[in-house]
Amino acid sequence: MKVYRLLLLLGLIFLITGIYLNENWNIFLNARMLCFSCVGIE
Amino acid sequence: MVRFRAFFQIGALLFYNSNYLFSYEFCPVPGLNCYACPIAGGACPLGSLQHFMVLRRIPFFLLGFFLLIGALVGRMVCGWICPIGWLQELMYKVKVKKIRVNFRPFRYLKYLVLLSLVLIIPFLSGEPWFSKLCFVGTIQAGIPLIVMDQSLRDLIGTLFYIKLGITGITLAAFFFIKRPFCRFLCPLGATYSLFNPISYARLEVAGSCFKCDKCREVCPVDIKVYEEPNSPECIRCLECTSCAHVNLRLGDKKKEKTKEAEQYA
């Protein structure tokens, strides 16, 4: 089996696990709340 | 296709900053784009990764995202759909004296930045330190927000001035050095670069190549393609495929041009 195929499979498993754990809605949206770090304000 | 690369880069910039049309901030974008920017549509992959480190959680979705992109195209994202890559290419076109930086250890700085500022320090300190110093945040969010919002102006402290200094130095370097941020500092590029030698899309140099260095002249990251076609530094912009001896190889299939190159030889 080619390495890239193995990585694609692994990537798909991780992606689905992330969606299953609701990472997108619970964490990515919260991450934006921390964006004052990017602006440079403490 | 390569001649339309700028359109892909402009398209990516518009798509990443499409909050006025639609928002998908629950999903990271593949290139570097600050999500503190009021018009950012998607999440910054590095900001999100740091957020997971701060929370001390395994970023499954991001790992999958990086693995899928990396396994398919390696670092092609940097060459085709990264707005910061495009900015560097544009600024390098300004006619000033150019500096060629070939000091090999500089290449490893980006892995150090990835390990320290993106992974280990946020994990230990609970603060997203790469974001705190990132010049993209200053350009896309810091300066515009502070210009627009008086209440934010009152909150400016030392950190903002440090960010301004980093931004100034980085932007100045773009005029003189070929893609300095991608080559030496970008932790996102460092992540994708690990996949370059094993990805589905790879570069191949025909045995008949006579090392004229034309590929290096057109290469935005200044690599000798004939020495290491799948170097971790290669951003797969495919500019070097203008030479008949360099070809894109997808999986096990070769493009027809290889045969052409062999005919030339």
**Domain segments of chain B: what residues?**
2-193, 201-264
pLDDT of residue B189 exceeding 90: yes
SS3 of residue B229 by DSSP: coil
List chain B residues with CB under 8 Å of A35. 34-36, 47, 131, 137, 141
- The pLDDT of B84-106, averaged and rounded, is 92
pLDDT digits (tens, 9 = 90+) for A5-39: 999 999 999 999 999 988 877 777 666 656 677 78
pLDDT of residue B256 exceeding 60: no
More confident residue, B51 or B252: B51
How are beta strands B201-205 and B24-28 bridged, if at all? Answer: unpaired
Tell whether B64 is within 8 A of chain A (Cβ): yes
Identify from B16, B19, B69, B131 which residue to disrupt to test chain A contact, counting A C-beta atoms within 10 A and taking the largest count.
Answer: B131
Task: List B204's β-bridge partners, or say none.
Answer: B247
Task: List B250's β-bridge partners, or say none.
Answer: B201, B253
Task: List B205's β-bridge partners, or say none.
Answer: B246
In 3D space, the residue among B228, B230, B225 whose CA is nearest the CA of residue B244 turns out to be B225
Task: List B247's β-bridge partners, or say none.
Answer: B204
More confident residue, B96 or B256: B96
* DSSP letter, residue A41: B
pLDDT value, residue B118: 96
Put simply, the answer to whether A34 touches B51 (Cβ < 8 Å) is yes
How are beta strands B24-28 and B253-254 bridged, if at all? Answer: unpaired
* DSSP letter, residue B29: -
pLDDT value, residue B203: 92
